[in-house]
Structure 1
Amino acid sequence: MYEIVRDKPLTRPCEVVTILKRDYGLDVSYHVVWLGVEKAKAVIHGDHSLSFDQLRWYSDAVMRYNPGSYVNIDYDTSSRQFCRFFVSFAACISEFNSCWSLLFLDGTFLKRKYKGQLLVTMAKDRNNGLFPIAFAIVDSETTANWPWFLHELGKVIDGKHQITFISDCNLGLLEAMLKVFPSAHHGFHEKLAKLKEEGKQRAHTFFKDLAPEHWANSYFRGMRYGEMTSNAAESFIIRLKKHAIFL
């Protein structure tokens, strides 16, 4: 089983069950195989719980060998437990200062043992190439974590530029944006998607609580460069989750 997981890290337990039956004629239960896969991953990639302690080493290494990068580990001062982890690499920070002042924000749930949430902000260069400005691992997508993420983001991007943010209006993001980036413009599309589901009869009530500068081009004061959704951030999340074992 070790060889199977080593050669194909994203192998699922159900695939191992099939391989053991097909190649070796063994009938092994899914539960037993799942335990074996988890143990094999621990041998290959290290224990998940111990990896949190290695974040301090990783942070120091990034700051030392990749000058200009920024990493911050936030933890509970009383329990000394991990809370949040923010990363922004020097090359991405430098690239953003020569690109459109347009950032895409999104978050997604993590499915491994310790769960949590992945928050990302993406940029797009003038050749439509996507690259991450920063990403963070947090305990959940809460009204406390988005302000923290945006505050950390404000430390690495040039605040002299008027930035336009595009998101799907994640929990607490709209309120956090007004506090951390008060001069920035913020557009999203989640409400419009909901409108299509609800039907036109409820449109009046629906839009009454939604400021038009967040969804209507005629009222939007920022520069969106034709970007209407946060799909750029979602695409990065999909690729990252596909190739990162810990997610």
Structure 2
Amino acid sequence: MRALKTAILSAALALGLAGAAQASEAIHLPKQSWPHAGMFGTIDKAAAQRGFQIYKEVCSACHSMRLVPIRTLGGIGFKDDELKALAAGYEVQGGPNDAGEMFMRPAIPADRFPSPFANEQAARAANNGALPPDLSLIAKARVGGEDYLYAFLTGFEEPPAGVNLMAGMNYNKYFPGHQVGMPNILQPDGVTFADGTKATVEQQARDVSTFLTFVAEPHHDARKQMGVKVILFLLVLAGLMYASKRKLWSTLH
């Protein structure tokens, strides 16, 4: 019995070390150009709206955004009546009522996006044991941010010769270890954009990455605008202080 336990422990350790070695493999992400990058960059609202459509029609079947209030979408151009109509399409738990019972009610813009599963166990049961990550802060949680998200979503392909995937796993060249439980969910023309944008896989990946960048930091544009104002104020203040110094010292010499 002791020998059996030792063998099992050794095998588990070997698998763990192999997995760690794969996970530590350097992954080089292609650098993308984003309108919101740089000091003066702002979120492309049209792209973010398309990205939300992809989340709603494709990603939300498995992935939650439990930290994001529905009214956050006002930051990418959704009007109040649109937010109310959108929220009404979801149901959230309300209560308790006068009888002390909880009940389901239509959501309002102040509510957060409901999760597709009741709990973690239900999520794993529906996904062959894998737990789909919450997407609220995924753009901040992953090294590389939106570059990683874009690379991951466009990185699914057939495994190279000699690579054997575990059961239920899919090959992704940008995922650490290259084996991931999530299938390739983006397909050409998998959605139809209202603005007529061609729904290539690359376009969908770019749009949903933009949207997830926005929800992870909904005050992105306001923060940058405030930063620019502060820098301009400090420059003006520095100029005034320098002029005052010269004026003061000119009267003493």
TM-score by length of 2: 0.21
More strand by share: 1
**Greater length-normalized contact order (CA 8 Å, ≥ 6 residues apart):** 2
